Amino acid sequence: MRRASTLASSVLSRTLTSTLHDGGALSTIKHRFLLASLYSTTSNTGNSHSRRIFNPFSSSLGVAGALVSAAAAASLSQDVLAKEPPRAELVPKEVVLYQYEACPFCNKVKAYLDYYDIPYKVVEVNPISKKEIKWSDYKKVPILMVDGEQLVDSSAIIDKLGNKIHGKEIVESASDKDDDDEEIKWRRWVDNHLVHVLSPNIYRNTSEALESFDYITSNGNFSFAEKITVKYAGAAAMYFVSKKLKKKYNITDERAALYEAAETWVDALNGREFLGGSKPNLADLAVFGVLRPIRYLRSGRDMVEQTRIGDWYTRMENSVGGSARIKA
């Protein structure tokens, strides 16, 4: 009990202290509590629907949503479901993702691995101790180990892995490419805009903050004492932090900003099934990846009810298919 209350006050004080600092501190908070855990699942199941059902928030509407998605999947044409798996000899032998299940950047990488059916193991990092990545100089997640090589930073990971599995010698990264490139432009929009709209939404009020932390603590790597304390202290702290984040990113109405982002994305599709045309490209995978952890939270359900994004999202679920995750 004493340990729990000490932990709670330490969590709170760390979080609140961070709010008094500048943007770097805000991102620390985001990492520790929001992104860190919101986007994860420590369950060892490898299937995207079970991942959603595992989400405690998906209890009623979420499960129904997953079932509807499954039915929609079954009715989709083979064309949409067809993927282009990499040549077997180019698939890495061992891929390990160090992640927070709820981290949008980690989920972006997972969407890529799932889409290309690249088997990967997951190591869920404890966002407080980070002991699982003590061996690395890089202190954020995702970290992707590919046959012993450490890759960091979600967009760079995807570019480098893409070069490997598509057999490209020259490492071309997103930052080398032109701003006019549509795929690049929207990948940048995900990193520079979309991810910042998510936190104020999932911590919008006390009930949504608790819903998010219930998910975070149920799926992240926390000790028993941390689970209890982080859930309540974190939810309370993030409720206040999300107000700060709104200011930082000039968001007045967080839901309006989320809906606007969803509509902006649908406009970008311009009637196409995917931004990539008949198949998802890296921008489709990035948008899908960062939205996946919130899809069956209140904010994600609202987004799908209030905007036109649902059809594209369902096409993406079907196209990405089940998780390629294997047991660690």
Ligand X SMILES: N[C@@H](CCC(=O)N[C@@H](CS)C(=O)NCC(=O)O)C(=O)O
Q: Facing residues of 325 across strands?
A: 120
Q: Does 127 bind ligand X (CB under 6 A)?
A: yes
Q: Does 100 bind ligand X (CB under 6 A)?
A: yes
Q: At which residue do the structure tokens 């406009």 appear?
A: 267
Q: Does 188 bind ligand X (CB under 6 A)?
A: no
- Tell me which residues in 151-170 interact with ligand X (CB under 6 A): 153-155
**CB-nearest residue to ligand X:** 31
Q: What's the rounded Cα separation, in Å, for the pair 300 and 304?
A: 6
Q: At which residue do the structure tokens 């899908």 appear?
A: 288
Tell me the CA distances in angstroms from 248 to 26, 48, 207, 238, 294, one per residue in order. 9, 33, 23, 14, 21
**Beta carbon nearer to ligand X, 142 or 234:** 142
Stretch that binds ligand X, among 25-33, 159-167, 210-218, 279-287 (CB under 6 A): 25-33
Contact with ligand X (CB under 6 A): which of 7, 53, 66, 103? 103
Contact with ligand X (CB under 6 A): which of 8, 11, 26, 36? 36
Taking the complex as a whole, how short is the minimal distance between the CB of residue 64 and ligand X, in angstroms? 29
Contact with ligand X (CB under 6 A): which of 98, 105, 112, 116? 105
**Beta carbon nearer to ligand X, 5 or 13:** 13
Residues with active-site annotation: 100, 103, 105-106
Q: Does 197 bind ligand X (CB under 6 A)?
A: no
Q: Give yes or no for a contact between 282 and 182, defined as CB atoms under 8 angstroms apart.
A: no
Q: Does 220 bind ligand X (CB under 6 A)?
A: no
If phi over 0 gives left and psi between -120 and 50 gives alpha, with beta otherwise, what is residue 147? Answer: left
Burial of 163 (0-12, 13-18, 19+ CB in 10 A): middle
Contact with ligand X (CB under 6 A): which of 32, 51, 110, 295? 32
**Beta carbon nearer to ligand X, 141 or 304:** 141
Stretch that binds ligand X, among 32-40, 43-51, 52-60, 85-93 (CB under 6 A): 32-40
Q: Where are the beta strands (DSSP E) in the chain?
A: 95-99, 121-124, 143-146, 149-152
Taking the complex as a whole, how short is the minimal distance between the CB of residue 221 and ligand X, in angstroms? 12
- Helices 309-320 and 298-306, packing angle to 10 deg: 120
Contact with ligand X (CB under 6 A): which of 92, 142, 162, 280? 142
Q: What's the rounded Cα separation, in Å, for the pair 248 and 322?
A: 36
Q: Does 110 bind ligand X (CB under 6 A)?
A: no
Q: Facing residues of 150 across strands?
A: 145
| Phi, psi for residue 251 in degrees, rounded to 5 | -105, 125
Instruction: Please report, as ranges, the residues that interact with ligand X according to CB under 6 A.
Output: 28, 31-32, 35-36, 100, 103, 105, 127, 140-142, 153-155
